[in-house]
Amino acid sequence: MTAGEVLKYRKGLFFIFADYESGHSGSSRFSLTAPIVVPSFSSLEDSDHLWWLDCGDASSFTASFGEQSGQYAHFEGIEGVRARPDYFTTSQVISNAQLQLLVDTAKPPREYLVTVSVRPIPAKIKDTSTADTSMLDIPAKSPMSAKNWDFGTRICSATCVSMAMDYLGVDHELHELVIAAYHRPADRYGVWPQNLWAASRWGVVGAIETTTDWEVLERAVAEERPFVPLIAFDEGELEGSPIPASLGHMVIVRGIRNNRVVVHDPVANDLISVPRHYDSNEFRKAWLGAMGSSTCSPSPHRIADPVRRPDGSSGLFQICSRIRGFTPAFRIFVRR
């Protein structure tokens, strides 16, 4: 993306995330100390967008997400910051930082969900026992058994989102969701914000978050919300997986039983093989070991009350965490 093309977004609307550590919105500049920063935005309205990290004399930005014709690649302009298509990593403290969300739209969206989460990488993960949870009745789905499909294992993200939408009762076709989830500049179907944008076309709003907290998974299941973690593992590190190793793979969690995480794994060869049971400690390391992230969304066709500016008008204003009182319906936890 050129500077001139970025100005297209600046002619739309933007808002600033202030100091994420204090949670206050009064200061628009902060020192960025977290090694990984995962921003997320979802809206049912026009929502082509990108995230812009500025430190005064230099900028970096994510790729843009939304309609394929308007997608641009990510850009790295700040020393010590690596811009990925959908998040940032840092190798040093970044001073005077400002994080902006640029949304290309004619008018401010009235309803939306926005989050920014941070964490160290890697994190120390300890083995521990896990309590049994309820078991979500999520319909199984695997594109591996579909005829005339040449996607292979490339669409695990979209397939997990599709299973979450089935669970939520959202009528849709997997192939249409896959088309919407394709991110042209990255040539990938697994770019997380693009998957959120795809789900929003069917009235489902989601969030991407990163964490070191295993209880996030347990709470999601307890709240009967599909949970989609991104896992990575080497050969022999996740017994029972349909693939020997992966640098990044998504599954959808149904629950925990007898210290084993019960999931649907979309790269199984057939529907009968989709349900899997993974050792909880192996799964914990595969998920939380490097970046530990995931995605959630509210009930279809319903999101939180519109955020209000301090003066009472609706629209966008400075916030630093999930909209108060709002719980997404499904989560995708991402990982490096």
CATH number of the domain that 272 lies in? Answer: 3.90.70.10
One domain, residues 159 and 236: yes
One domain, residues 292 and 154: yes
One domain, residues 257 and 175: yes
Weakest-pLDDT range from 63-67, 77-81, 301-305, 318-322: 318-322
- Torsions phi, psi for 50 (to 5 deg): -150, 165
Could you tell me if 55 and 104 are in contact, meaning their C-beta atoms sit under 8 angstroms apart? no
* pLDDT at residue 70 is higher than 90: no
One domain, residues 220 and 295: yes
**The pLDDT of residue 256:** 96
Distance (Å) of CA 80 to CA 61, 93, 310, 326: 13, 8, 35, 34
Distance CA 233, CA 250 (A): 12
Indicate whether 312 belongs to any domain: no
With 0-12 / 13-18 / 19 or more C-beta atoms within 10 angstroms meaning exposed / middle / buried, residue 121 is middle
Could you tell me if 166 and 255 are in contact, meaning their C-beta atoms sit under 8 angstroms apart? no
One domain, residues 182 and 294: yes
Indicate whether 134 belongs to any domain: no
pTM for the whole structure: 0.81
One domain, residues 178 and 51: no
* pLDDT at residue 310 is higher than 50: no
Indicate whether 138 belongs to any domain: no
What range defines the domain where residue 269 resides?
143-299+327-333
* pLDDT at residue 18 is higher than 70: no
* pLDDT at residue 324 is higher than 60: no
One domain, residues 36 and 83: yes
For the chain, the average pLDDT equals 76
Digit-coded pLDDT (tens) for 38-53: 888 888 877 788 888 8
| Tally of structural domains, the chain | 2
Digit-coded pLDDT (tens) for 83-124: 999 999 888 888 888 888 887 776 666 667 777 888 877 777
One domain, residues 232 and 278: yes
One domain, residues 175 and 280: yes
One domain, residues 163 and 253: yes
- When pLDDT is cut at 50, 70 and 90, the band that residue 307 belongs to is very low
